[in-house]
Amino acid sequence: MTNKRIIHQPIQPEIQELAAEYGNDSESILSILTRLQELHGSLSPEIITDAARALSVPAHQAYGMATFYSMLFLEPRKQIVHVCDGPVCWTKNAAATHKAIEAIANDDWTVERASCLGLCDSAPAVLVNNEQAGPVLPEDAAKLLEGWRGTPNGYTTPRKGEVRAMMANAGKVDPKSIDSALEHGAYDGLKKALGMTPEAVVAVVDASGLQGRGGAGFPVGRKWKFVAQARNTPKYVICNADESEPLIFKDRVLIETNPHQILAGMAIAGYACGASEAFIYIRGEYAAQARLLEGAIEQAEEKGWLGDNIQGSGFSFHVHVHRGAGAYICGEETALIESLEGKRGEPRLRPPYPPTAGYRGLPTLVNNVESFAAAANIVRNGADWWRSLSDYETPGTKLYILLGPVENPGLFEAPFGLTLRQIIDEFGGGMLPGSEFRCALTGGAAGTIVDETLLDVPIDYASGSRYGISLGAGAFMVCDQTTSPVALLQVLLHFFAAESCGKCTPCRVGTWRSKEILTRMVNGQGQPGDVEELKALADHMQSASFCGLGQSAGVPMNSAIQHFAQAFEKAANG
Amino acid sequence: MTVNITINGQKIQAQPEQTILEAAREHGINIPTLCYHKDLSPTGNCRICMVDVKGARFLQAACATQVWEGMEIETHGEKSIVSRKMTLEMMLANHPVDCLTCEANGDCELQDLAYEYRVEVPEWGTKGTHYPVDSDPNPFIFVDFNKCILCRRCVQACAEIQVRDVWGVAQRGFDETIVAGADTTMLEARCESCGQCVAYCPTGALTSKISRGLGRAPQVTKVTTTCTYCGVGCQLDLNVKDGKVIGVTSNPDAPVNGMALCVKGRYGWDFIHHPDRLTKPLVRQYLLSDQPKPKGKLGEWVEVDWDTALDITARKLSHARDTFGPDSVGILTSAKCLNEENYLMNKFARQVVGTNNIDHCARL
Ligand SMILES: Cc1cc2nc3c(=O)[nH]c(=O)nc-3n(C[C@H](O)[C@H](O)[C@H](O)COP(=O)(O)O)c2cc1C
Ligand code: SF4
Ligand code: SF4
Ligand code: SF4
Ligand code: FES
């Protein structure tokens, strides 16, 4: 009946030493748990408790994390295959791939589902012990377990109609070599910025009209100004590379093609805002991309483009790569900051917003990877250049992702204001023979499901609320007559239910309940009243959830039901 | 400086740092809450307090939204009511409806809100019993997480008031649950059994194990009194049923301790009606007849009046002092005594007996 047993047991020396390696810093708990899991094959309550004690945090905090992040686990495993069950992989029959791998895997292997892996252009995608692979068809299962990983896409040649700024050097720059990046002027923007006042740098970004690329389109210059004007110090810069929303993989491509462009953008932001320390929060599933960034940072430090006293300017800027461990919600900026601080990735109450009180309660700039990449080019070439890239009211270019049964899916860069028809026909080469447009999921999983009535609306950050077709992070998944909008919505709600952090009631229960109803409907067991309940759930999640995840889960629900009322009624009433 | 706001058409002057909830409550306007408690920092988890703010795209959590100049708020507009009903339904969907036998019946914030908003368990309440009932061996605290609404007040009470950090949140989404430590027992997770978490739990998820089945809130009379255990002087409510104390609950208005109590004050009340409790002075038979102390068995205890008992004590103390010297006497006082009583004992030891041999149980 006493608690002496726990208190007087010494912490296992191995854990003690590991913690010491990280300076017993409680913020390193995620890294330490990940390392311990690698060593032991899994985590146990004893390991977790000792790790917590070594870092002087409550045991529940470490346990709460171990059970929060999907890449941490308590059941022993040797080798793991994660098969994506995101919407794109679903249309490519990833379920068959899953079964095929299970069928041939021996007892050393665990085969599990995963939420969208950010490899939608290689669907069906899998992770083999954290190595990315795809497309993996059922017949590739044996090869896969023997080390075959498929062929990644390069995006080195622009397609017709593309305007490339952030992708301009894709294929020209060797992402592993800073010399190659320097030849292409990777740090020219930073060099230019260091010769200006920080205020002037903010002014250039502000004048460019650049809008944040994480999905919400908040003006980047204005955010930089908030951070620059915040009184408390030190300040921090965070690059949001969590990219866990189904359909989205543009930040991965930016990292893979030109990592120094992103680092330069971050350093420029640091100089403009008065920050000397920065983090790249990258989703745990992007292990290869994290290594690429770490290598780039090391080289940049060697060449004096990062680190102390950059090019003798007196400005220092240190960038750390922080790996997530499987949680979509960690893309939400306050959840990201919680995660960075060594906690469960649950969003914070706002205000205060990160520019006032973010990481460690201090002024923090959070921008998306693409935002930093754009900023690097804007400072290098000027605001006018950025505006000259397009005649559309939203300046500059955007990375687009096109998926589904079109001739030429993938990623491209183009100005704003494209219509869905242009995206499909002009950039995607039209629908595949035999495929007819039925619906599209636009923006991302948290976007809108639209029918052909919205094919000709110019899409930008305002078109979502204005016309009901959202841009989000710029992804478009086109579906043909073989895809039922009800089934598509079920897959999305499966995602939201799996990724809801659980903090607030409407999202925690609402995503789960919506998924339950939709699953029934898809299985031919719909009931009268299902559609009304789905609508009520969508409205409730939208208006009462704590954060953007729950609020946006209602968006695809409401738009799908609006555009495909008949299909939903039919599924409900059998 | 004040901020002018309007709540339900009523013009109100609020303080700039106030939340909508604080301003409303100050003016007698009721907004329901579950995860909020005035002693704990606001979290905005439960979403029951959502109100309509003119111009805002979504409903706003009254407990966590600060007022601003010109803010117009509807606390019971149609949108808020619909939202609250749905939130309650979601909570009830994962909640066994056994109010008939539930300890918290009549003292349950969830039950009160379900009543006020006329919400029943939805037909789809399918999660059912998910956790073992009485899942923790703590001797004082009965844990039934089937009744938990995940408001996290227990987590906060333990962290912010008791500073023990026993409870935490594990898993995510629909599987989210409250755990002690790394899913151990409460005691292994450093619990002191203070019962703060029980006091702040709005439902029947955390209740007193030792009061179980003895009587529920509507059946008891609360007698506010001061804890007898120590000099802090915490106030508490004895829960009395049929002339018997069947439990102790916090009295939120307690000036010294608020809702907080320690394990002794909250759970150490069984002595009150215990058969072994001394309620009258007892002395050994031989002391009454002025016989010498017998060898071996000391003989029977005899009930006497206070004068007799004190006379014997005085006689024996004087005898010891006179025969063996003042330092042969030692005095130990109790934290259950008042400061004044302890002071008197100190005087008694040093001036009457003439020894410095005096100590106090709080030092042990
Ligand atoms: C559930 C959720 C997930 C998000 N995921 C991402 C993400 O993966 N990457 C990202 O840049 N922004 C994401 N965001 C948006 C961020 O909160 C934040 O607005 C963004 O990083 C700001 O950068 P920007 O201004 O450059 O767009 C997400 C938001 C929500 C609500
Ligand atoms: S809406 Fe609520 S439960 Fe959903 S992710 Fe946000 S805070 Fe968590
Ligand atoms: S009884 Fe006290 S110490 Fe134990 S969990 Fe509850 S609040 Fe924490
Ligand atoms: S146990 Fe009680 S206080 Fe804790 S989260 Fe559940 S309902 Fe809230
Ligand atoms: S009382 Fe406001 S969200 Fe729970």
| CATH code of the region A79-145 | 3.40.30.10
Residue A527 three-state SS: coil
Name the token pair of A394: 């939203």
Q: Which residue has tokens 């005085």?
A: B314
Between A52, A512, A540, which is nearest B174 by CB?
A: A512
Taking residues A16-33, report their average pLDDT: 96
**Ligand 3-lining residues (CB < 6 angstroms):** B 141, 157-158, 162, 164, 166-167, 186, 191-197
Could you tell me the distance, in angstroms and rounded to a whole number, from the CA of residue A120 to the centre of ligand 5? 38
Q: Which residues of A540-557 are buried (b: 16+ CB within 10 A; e: fewer)?
A: bbbbbbbbbbbbbbbbbb
The answer to whether the Cβ–Cβ distance between A61 and B170 falls below 8 Å is: no
Closest listed ligand to the CA of B201: 4
* Rounded distance between C-alpha atoms, residue B293 and residue A154, angstroms: 102
The per-residue pLDDT for B11 is 97
Q: Could you tell me which of A281, A274, A244 has the C-alpha nearest to residue A355? A: A274
Q: How confident is the model at residue A499 (pLDDT cuts 50, 70, 90)?
A: very high
For residue A209, list its beta bridge partners. Answer: none
Given a cut of 50, whether residue A3 has pLDDT beyond it is no
Neighbouring C-beta atoms of residue B267, cutoff 10 Å? 22
Smallest CA–CA distance from B124 into chain A, residue: A513
Residue of the nearest CA to atom 8 in ligand 2?
A: A501
Ligand 4 atom, smallest distance to B35 CA? 8
Q: How confident is the model at residue A82 (pLDDT cuts 50, 70, 90)?
A: very high
Neighbouring C-beta atoms of residue B286, cutoff 10 Å? 15
Closest listed ligand to the CA of A334: 1
The answer to whether the Cβ–Cβ distance between A1 and B188 falls below 8 Å is: no
Of A332, A346, A551, best ligand 2 pocket probe by most atoms within 8 Å of the beta carbon? A346
The per-residue pLDDT for A7 is 54
Ligand 1 atom, smallest distance to A244 CA? 8
Q: Which residue has tokens 């339904």?
A: B89
Task: Specify whether the CB–CB gap between B87 and A505 falls below 8 A.
Answer: yes
* Rounded distance between C-alpha atoms, residue B75 and residue B31, angstroms: 7
In chain B, where the domains are located: 3-76, 220-275, 282-359
Higher-pLDDT residue of B299, A55: A55
**Ligand 2-lining residues (CB < 6 angstroms):** A 329, 347, 500-504, 507-508, 545-547, 549-550
Of A329, A333, A495, A540, best ligand 2 pocket probe by most atoms within 8 Å of the beta carbon? A329
Smallest CA–CA distance from A541 into chain B, residue: B83
The per-residue pLDDT for B120 is 92
Neighbouring C-beta atoms of residue A327, cutoff 10 Å? 27
pLDDT tens digit sequence for B248-300 = 999 999 999 999 999 999 999 999 999 999 999 999 999 998 788 888 898 89
Least trusted range by pLDDT, from A2-16, A385-399, A559-573, B125-139: A2-16
Residue of the nearest CA to atom 22 in ligand 1?
A: A367
- Evaluate whether the domain defined by A178-387 bears CATH number 1.10.3720.10: no
In chain A, where the domains are located: 13-68, 79-145, 178-387, 397-480, 485-572
The per-residue pLDDT for B127 is 63
Could you tell me the distance, in angstroms and rounded to a whole number, from the CA of residue B147 to the centre of ligand 3? 18
**Which ipTM was obtained for this model?**
0.94
**Ligand 4-lining residues (CB < 6 angstroms):** B 148-154, 178, 200-203, 205-206
The per-residue pLDDT for B293 is 87
Could you tell me the distance, in angstroms and rounded to a whole number, from the CA of residue A470 to the centre of ligand 5? 31
Task: Specify whether the CB–CB gap between A360 and A341 falls below 8 A.
Answer: yes
Smallest CA–CA distance from A65 into chain B, residue: B170
* Rounded distance between C-alpha atoms, residue B259 and residue B9, angstroms: 35
pLDDT in 10s for each residue of chain B, 364 residues: 899 999 999 999 999 999 999 999 999 999 999 999 999 999 999 999 999 999 999 999 999 999 999 999 999 999 999 999 999 999 999 898 899 999 999 999 999 999 999 999 888 876 656 899 999 999 999 999 999 999 999 999 999 999 999 999 999 999 999 999 999 999 999 999 999 999 999 999 999 999 999 999 999 999 999 998 887 889 999 999 999 999 999 999 999 999 999 999 999 999 999 999 999 999 999 999 878 888 889 889 999 999 999 999 999 999 999 999 999 999 999 887 888 999 999 999 999 999 999 998 876 5
The answer to whether the Cβ–Cβ distance between B172 and A501 falls below 8 Å is: yes
Between A509, A537, A543, which is nearest B79 by CB?
A: A543
- Domain B220-275 CATH (choose: 1.10.10.10, 3.40.50.1220, 3.40.930.10, 2.20.25.90): 2.20.25.90
HSE, side-chain direction, 13 A CA sphere, residue A493: 33
Residue of the nearest CA to atom 6 in ligand 4?
A: B148
The answer to whether the Cβ–Cβ distance between A63 and B182 falls below 8 Å is: yes
B220-275 and B3-76 share a CATH fold: no
The answer to whether the Cβ–Cβ distance between B174 and A1 falls below 8 Å is: no
* Residue A135: cis peptide before it, omega within 30 degrees of 0: yes
Taking residues A209-226, report their average pLDDT: 97
- Domain A485-572 CATH (choose: 3.40.50.170, 1.10.260.40, 3.40.50.11270, 1.20.1440.230): 1.20.1440.230
Name the token pair of B307: 């004068």
Given a cut of 70, whether residue A207 has pLDDT beyond it is yes
Chain A positions in Cβ-Cβ contact with residue B182 (cut-off 8 Å): 45-46, 48-49, 52, 59-60, 62-63, 66
pLDDT tens digit sequence for A322-368 = 999 999 999 999 999 999 999 999 999 999 999 999 999 999 999 99
The answer to whether the Cβ–Cβ distance between A6 and B167 falls below 8 Å is: no
Ligand 1 atom, smallest distance to A241 CA? 9
Closest listed ligand to the CA of B80: 5
The per-residue pLDDT for A2 is 47
The answer to whether the Cβ–Cβ distance between A1 and B150 falls below 8 Å is: no
Q: B3-76 is classed in which CATH architecture?
A: Roll (3.10)
The answer to whether the Cβ–Cβ distance between A1 and B94 falls below 8 Å is: no
* Residue A352: cis peptide before it, omega within 30 degrees of 0: yes
Of A68, A495, A503, best ligand 2 pocket probe by most atoms within 8 Å of the beta carbon? A503
CATH class of A397-480: alpha beta
The answer to whether the Cβ–Cβ distance between B170 and A502 falls below 8 Å is: no
Which string of DSSP letters, residue by residue, matches A185-199? Answer: TTTHHHHHHHTS-HH
Given a cut of 70, whether residue A243 has pLDDT beyond it is yes
Output the average pLDDT for chain A: 96
